[in-house]
């Protein structure tokens, strides 16, 4: 295929622009599907009762509608809020399927977020 295009270009059958378009066709970006649920796992070191309670609370996936409602009450970048993301950036991050976020804090707590 490439050799045919190059010979056509050499024989001046096609222009360089047409040859470039033939050699380097545009690929469509992958279509991302919207997420509907968020699954959370939170692990607190050295506290079995808290871990059991958190496992029970987050046993089932949470619908994304409830997450959006909860994010309304979160303050956007402020002095007391140490989040590096704005509310809109967080919503964009969890809006699509297949997103996996793993957070490990200095205190040893592990948070795992998965969207589907």
The most distant pair of C-alpha atoms in the chain lies apart, rounded to whole Å, by 78
**Taking 60 as the threshold, does the pLDDT of residue 107 lie above it?**
yes
What is the pLDDT at residue 50? 92
CA–CA gap between residue 106 and residue 116 (Å, rounded): 28
* pLDDT given for residue 34 in this prediction: 92
Please report, for residues 7, 19, 50, 57, 99, the alpha-carbon distance to residue 71 in angstroms, rounded to integers and kept in the order given.
59, 51, 23, 18, 18
The per-residue pLDDT for range 76-102, each reduced to its tens digit, is: 665 555 667 778 888 888 889 988 989
Q: What number is the average pLDDT over the span 95-115?
A: 89
Whole-prediction pTM? 0.64
Please check whether residue 43 is in contact with residue 109, taking contact to mean a CB–CB distance below 8 angstroms: yes
Residue appearing with tokens 């024989």? 11
For the sheet containing 62-63, what is the strand order?
Answer: 62-63, 37-43, 110-115, 100-104
Is the model's pLDDT at 116 over the cut of 60?
yes
Buried-exposed string 95-116: b where 16+ CB fall within 10 A, e elsewhere: eeeeeeeeeeeeeeeeeebbbe
Q: Can you tell me the distance from the alpha carbon of 97 to that of 38, in angstroms, rounded to the nearest whole number?
A: 9
Output 78 or 116, whichever has higher pLDDT. 116
pLDDT in tens, 23-75: 888 888 888 899 999 999 999 998 899 999 999 999 999 999 998 898 888 77
The pLDDT of residue 75: 72
Residue 93 parent element (H or E): helix 87-93
């Amino acid at each position: 295929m490439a050799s045919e295009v190059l010979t056509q270009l050499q024989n001046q059958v096609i222009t360089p622009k047409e040859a470039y378009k033939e050699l380097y066709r545009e690929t469509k970006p992958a279509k991302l599907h919207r997420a509907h649920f968020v699954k959370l796992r939170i692990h607190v070191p050295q506290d079995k009762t808290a871990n059991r309670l958190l496992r029970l609370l987050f046993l089932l996936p949470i619908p994304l509608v409830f997450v959006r409602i909860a994010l309304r009450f979160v303050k956007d970048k402020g002095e007391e809020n140490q989040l590096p993301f704005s509310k809109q950036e967080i919503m964009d991050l969890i809006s699509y399927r297949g997103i996996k976020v793993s957070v490990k804090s200095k205190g040893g707590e592990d948070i795992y977020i998965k969207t589907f």
